[in-house]
Amino acid sequence: MSLVNMLAKWLFPASLLFAACLLLAGCCHSTGGDWREYKVFCGMTYHNGTVSEAEWQQFCDEYVTTEFPDGYTALAATGYWRQEDTAAAKREDAHIIMILAPSDAKEKVRRIAQQYRELFHQESVLVTTSPADAEFVEAASD
């Protein structure tokens, strides 16, 4: 097989794929800018018992929604960890708040974690931050 035939065999499918990507680009729009995915891990146990669903909902309404009115996601989870003074693994119900926001929102996220830690007497609240490449996939315009 000649070099020309090999290039044609490879370039034709690649150019079709590129053209399809250009056509589909109108179906999505990027969030643009420098975005982060923040996660706040909230344990549901504290010295007086457990955080009730009503307390959790009130916390979200008063603190999380206030800081991020455009939206966030809250997931129920189970966390496993080990205290320093024991070898046994502990199990704890938890909620994870996931927030997609610009990179300058870190202080807002920290305020949420701090408020949760204080209100529910937590030893600590884990916050993670990851770079995010996000887009909203929407229906194509006719």
- Cα–Cα distance, 83 to 108 (Å, whole number): 29
- Cα–Cα distance, 40 to 70 (Å, whole number): 17
Query: Could you tell me whether strands 35-43 and 45-46 are parallel, antiparallel, or unpaired per DSSP bridges?
Result: unpaired
- What's the pLDDT band for 142 if we cut at 50, 70, 90? low
- Cα–Cα distance, 76 to 44 (Å, whole number): 10
Residue 138: φ, ψ to 5°: -120, 170
If you count DSSP H runs as helices and E runs as strands, how many of each does the chain have, helices first?
Answer: 4, 8
* DSSP per position, 131-142: EE--EEE-PPP-
Dihedral angle computed from the Cα positions of residues 132, 63, 58 and 70, in that order, rounded to the nearest 10 degrees? -50
In the three-class reduction of DSSP (H, G, I as helix; E, B as strand; rest coil), residue 130 is classed as: strand
According to the CATH classification, is domain 33-132 in 3.30.70.120?
yes
In the three-class reduction of DSSP (H, G, I as helix; E, B as strand; rest coil), residue 53 is classed as: helix
Q: Say what the pTM is.
A: 0.73
- Cα–Cα distance, 40 to 73 (Å, whole number): 11
Task: Give the length of the chain.
Answer: 142
pLDDT tens-place string over residues 54-105: 999 999 999 999 999 999 999 999 999 887 788 788 899 999 999 999 999 9
What is the average pLDDT score of the chain? 81
Where do the domains of the chain lie?
1-30, 33-132
Beta-carbon-side half-sphere exposure of residue 25 (alpha carbons within 13 Å): 7
- Cα–Cα distance, 10 to 14 (Å, whole number): 7
